[in-house]
A and B are shown apart, each in its own frame.
Chain A
Amino acid sequence: MQVLIVDDSATMRTILRKVVSLSGYDVKGCLEAANGEEALEVLAASWVDVILLDIHMPVMDGLTLLRHLRDDEMYRKIPVVLVTTEANQDAIGEAVRLGIKAHVKKPFQPESIRQVLQRILGGEYARESSKDFGGCDF
């Protein structure tokens, strides 16, 4: 499985990379982008199986990126999980209309990311012995 993490915070990208690597899925790679524009550049060069996307980013925000993805035949089927602090219902509603598969609020328990990946990807890419997060250790 190849994951694209799109977040302007290097701290959050690192946290998500750790969470994904411990999620019980066979992660071949975690690609990163600091904004929507960088994400489009990454997507032009690499296939990804799922995108973890923030909304608030400079240069190109998450909702604008979502519109680009939905307008492009090649990208519109890539599942997108919104991982954001966004509390505004209009913004979340717009993201849902644009086809996100799930919404995880920051701060989050690592387990919630694993559950979302499981719901979206099912058994595909799952390792035989997945790690049980139990508590909140990364």
Chain B
Amino acid sequence: MQENHRKILADAISEVMETMFFLCPEPCDPGGGLEESRSPSEVIVHIQTADERPCQIVLHLPVALLDRMAVNVLEGLKESFSRKDLEDVACEFVNMVAGAFLNRLDAPHRKALSLPGILAGVSEDREGWVSYSCEVEGGRLQARLSCESFQEGAAR
């Protein structure tokens, strides 16, 4: 089931990255793991479904990658992008990834989403989380997913 969820998450990330930001992610080895605390060179963004046992997605996005994404969709409007601009891009990205992920599941598992948010750090228990990493122009995107509420036969 974890492998299935990893595949769905990877497909969702690729769809959003290619359709909205014109970037093609390449899957890669997660390597040394995720940093526990927020680094100024990355934005950690989080979203979850709004139910008792939420499905959660956490993305670590390098600032250089977010800058590339911002340029691809906002070019011509600004010469440079503030941290706030990049966090907004990150929030909309995780929102779309979560939507694309849920839309690949059977209808009963398509729960309503909460609003995305920026995390100051990651300290929760990672047991049972699915990890996925990919290289994109601008850096390595690292993703984690927890969907304990539907471990059984959810994917289409």
Q: A-side interface residues toward B, CB under 8 Å?
A: 8-12, 14-15, 18, 56-58, 84-91, 105-109, 136, 138
Contact = CB atoms under 8 A, between A and B. Distances in A.
A109 B92 contact: no
Q: Is the interface of B mostly helix, strand, loop or mixed?
A: helix
B89 A11 contact: yes
Q: Is the interface of A mostly helix, strand, loop or mixed?
A: loop
B22 interface: yes
B152 to A, nearest CB: 19
Nearest to A108: B19
B102 A87 contact: yes
Contact of A85 (B70, B98, B105): B98
Interface size class of B (residues with CB under 8 A): 20 to 34
B88 A107 contact: no
B65 to A, nearest CB: 14
Nearest to A138: B73
Nearest to A84: B99
Given A11-B88, A12-B92, A58-B115, A87 B73 contact: no
Contacts of B92: 9, 11-12
A87 B110 CA distance: 5
Contacts of B100: 85, 107
Contacts of A106: 20, 95-96, 99
